[in-house]
Amino acid sequence: MQASKEVAVLFVNEKLEKKQKLVSECGKFFLVMQDDGNCCLYDDTGCMFQTNTWHQGSYAKLTEFGVFAVYDASNRPIWTSTAQPSPKDSSYKMIVLNDGNMVIFDKHDKPLCHTNTPKAPNVMKPKA
């Protein structure tokens, strides 16, 4: 992806580089990999979720195990969305929905993990 590019869906092994955004269909919510290394989900009032990876994060990506992760410049994961990865599969996708939730889906469109924003900011919870 190009710098400052906006996308609607992040697929397995696609990177969110600094200044790139994952934007909801309505355009009200977006996830951005910031220049400062922090990955944040915003609405029109401010930050609803963040990875707290300031000055460490280089890029973020969705892995083939259904885990969204922020990586440092040495390609080491420094933050992950869940401690329980799903089976390896290339069909996972992550979307920022029009209600402000950032959700990881499996190949059957079953939600695996979500931010549950704006109810519980700063927590990415596995879906039961």
How many CB atoms are located within 10 Å of the residue 105 CB? Answer: 19
Contact predicate 74/114, CB 8 Å: no
pLDDT of residue 2 exceeding 90, the answer is no
Distance separating alpha carbons of residues 113 and 82, to the nearest angstrom:
8
Contact predicate 111/125, CB 8 Å: no
Tens of pLDDT, residues 74-100: 999 999 998 678 899 999 999 999 999
Cβ neighbours of residue 23 closer than 8 Å, sequence gap 6 or more = 6, 7, 8, 29, 30, 31, 96
Q: Is the model more confident about 71 or about 26?
A: 71
Q: Judge whether 29 lies within some domain.
A: yes
Q: Judge whether 1 lies within some domain.
A: no
Contact predicate 96/31, CB 8 Å: yes
Residue 30: pLDDT band with limits 50, 70, 90? very high
Q: What is the CATH number of the domain that holds 20?
A: 2.90.10.10
Q: Judge whether 41 lies within some domain.
A: yes
Q: Judge whether 68 lies within some domain.
A: yes
* Mean pLDDT of the residues in the chain: 88
Peptide bond into 118 cis (omega under 30): yes
Q: What is the span of the domain harbouring residue 50? A: 6-126
